[in-house]
Amino acid sequence: MAIVYIPPQIQKLTGAAQVEVSGSNVREIIEQLEQRFPGIAARLCDNGQLSPALQLSVDQVMTRMLSTKVESATEVHFLPVIGGG
């Protein structure tokens, strides 16, 4: 199972900073998270894509693609986007 790190802003939905979830890609991981923690998909996604407020790291590779492959023991981090100016 993949190890999914939950952003602090939505940890109240999971009750934990990380959870283990099965799936073959990030989209399936989000679907599994939604089954276990209703409402979390709406916080992670916007119109079927990763929320603009988040960045995604899969095994230390930054991406925005929900089709990114996930294997057993993959680390998936949903990270808040930091802006500045």
Residues spanned by the domain of 48? 2-80
Can you give the pLDDT at residue 83?
A: 77
Which residues, in sequence order, are CB contacts of 75 under 8 Å at separation 6+? 2, 3, 5, 57, 58, 59, 60
Q: What is the CATH number of the domain that holds 76?
A: 3.10.20.30
Distance, in Å, from the CA atom of 39 to the CA atom of 81, rounded to the nearest integer, reads 20
Phi first, then psi: give them for residue 50, nearest 5 degrees.
-60, 135
Return mean pLDDT, the chain.
Answer: 95
| CB 51 within 8 Å of CB 41 | no
Question: Is the per-residue pLDDT at 32 higher than 70?
Answer: yes
Chain centre distance of CA 39: 13
Query: Could you tell me if residue 68 is inside a domain?
Result: yes
Query: Could you tell me if residue 20 is inside a domain?
Result: yes
Query: Could you tell me if residue 27 is inside a domain?
Result: yes
Domain total for the chain? 1
Better pLDDT: 83 or 50: 50
Query: Could you tell me if residue 85 is inside a domain?
Result: no
**Region 58-80 average pLDDT:** 96
